[in-house]
Amino acid sequence: MRFAVRVEVRSLEGIADPEGQTIERALPALGFRGVEAVHMGKLFRFVLEADSESAARATADQMCSRLLANPVIEQADVWVEPLGADASDEPAVGRSA
């Protein structure tokens, strides 16, 4: 089976986010008011072949802990969605499972 996987990686609470702070300070100068708590992160989207949704999630979790995220300073959220036989290779935004 094929699964669309989305992994969102962001800094843990309490870890400095200088990129997010810089963006937050720059937005008012561009005319965007009322924006706060901006955080910079990473988004990974890919298609994964696995026997089941739980196996796909386990593989994605292993990918996060070994390569995609630094668990000391980052949190990774994983969404997995089955792809139908007629679905394209483009992963959907997905739903949290």
- Alpha carbons 42 and 62: distance in angstroms, whole number: 17
pLDDT of amino acid 51 = 97
Indicate whether 27 belongs to any domain. no
| Tally of domains in the chain | 1
CATH of residue 49: 3.30.1280.10
pLDDT in tens, 48-96: 999 999 999 999 999 999 999 999 999 999 999 999 865 555 555 544 4
Kindly report the three-state secondary structure assignment for every residue of 20-85.
HHHHHHHHHHHCCCCCCCCCCEEEEEEEEECCCHHHHHHHHHHHHHHHHCCCCCEEEEEEEEECCC
Residue 74: domain span: 2-13+40-82
Q: Is residue 34 part of a domain?
A: no
**What's the pLDDT tens digit per position in 16-34?**
999 999 999 999 999 999 9
Residue 79's CB is within 10 A of a number of other CB atoms, namely 20
Q: Kindly state whether residue 53 falls inside one of the protein's structural domains.
A: yes
| 88 occurs within a structural domain | no
